[in-house]
Structure 1
C-alpha cells in the first residue's frame, strides 16, 4: 500500500467519495451529513491523501482542512474490502504529520454515533470527545472529537 497527497478531482477518487456519500446517507438524514464536495477538497488549505494498492487501485482517502485555529479531519473513508488492514490509521497518521508540518497544533472532527469502527479508531489514535465546534450544531447525530498534536 502507498499513501500520497493527490487531488480529489480524479475519476477513481470521485468513486471513493460517491461510495462514502452513499454510506453516510444510508445512516443519516441529509441535514446531518456535513460533507465537503470535490471542489472544496481541491482548495489550497486542504491536505488530501489517497491510499492505493500496489496495482494503483484506490483503497481509501481522507482530508484535513487547515485553518488558522485548527485542522479538521474530513472525508475519511476506506473501502470495505480494505478495512482491518491499517489503511485508515496510516491515512490519518500521514495527514496528521503533514498538518503538523504546516503549523497545525490541534485537530478536530465531526462523525456519527452509529459508526463504531471510526469512533474506535479515533480514540485509539488519541482523539478525545468534546463539544460542538465551529458552525456545527450540537446534535445527537454528531460526535465531536479533538486531538492535540505534539
Structure 2
C-alpha cells in the first residue's frame, strides 16, 4: 500500500473531515474538559498542514504552528482508527518535523491528554520527552507536554 503525504491547507476538504473525526474522538476521551481543550484547536491559525493518503483515501493528518521563533507546536495529529498501527502517524509527524526544520525551527513541542494512552506511547517512541506544561496547559492536570529537538 502506497502512502502519500501531501502538504496542504486547512481548507482541504479531507483535512476538514479528518479534524471532525479527531474532534469526535477527543470529545469522548477528554470528557468534561473537552470544551477547554477545544478552544485551543482552531484550525484557522494553522498554516502548515498535511494529509496522508493511502490508495487515494485520506487516512491521517497533522499540522504545526509557530510557538516562538525557534519552536513549533504540533497540532491536530490524527489517524483513522482502522489505519492505526501501520506507521502512518510516524510518517506524518516526521514530515511535519522536517518541514519545520527546513523553515529554521529548532524545537517541536506538543500537548496531549493523559487519557490518550496511544498518543503518549507514540510520542515517546518518536523521541519526544516529557517537559513542564506550557501556556494554557500549565495548570491542566490531564495535560502532558512533550518536547523534541529537531535535527
Same-fold call, TM cutoff 0.5: yes
In 2 relative to 1, CA 127–82 (structure 1 residues): closer, same or farther, beyond 3 Å?
same
Structure with greater strand share of residues: 2
The runs of 5 or more residues in structure 2 that have no matched partner are none
The runs of 5 or more residues in structure 1 that have no matched partner are none
Distance in 2 (CA, whole Å) between partners of 1:13 and 1:64 is 13
In 2 relative to 1, CA 9–36 (structure 1 residues): closer, same or farther, beyond 3 Å?
same
Residue 65 (structure 2) aligns with:
65
Structure with greater helix share of residues: 2
Residue 22 (structure 1) aligns with:
24
The correspondence for 1:37, drawn from 32, 42, 52, is 42
Residue 99 (structure 2) aligns with:
98
After the TM superposition, which of the residue ranges 98-107 and 31-40 deviates more from structure 2?
31-40
Residue 75 (structure 1) aligns with:
76
Q: How many residues align?
A: 145
Distance in 2 (CA, whole Å) between partners of 1:142 and 1:81 is 26
| TM-score normalised according to structure 1 size | 0.90
- SS of equivalent to 1:119: helix
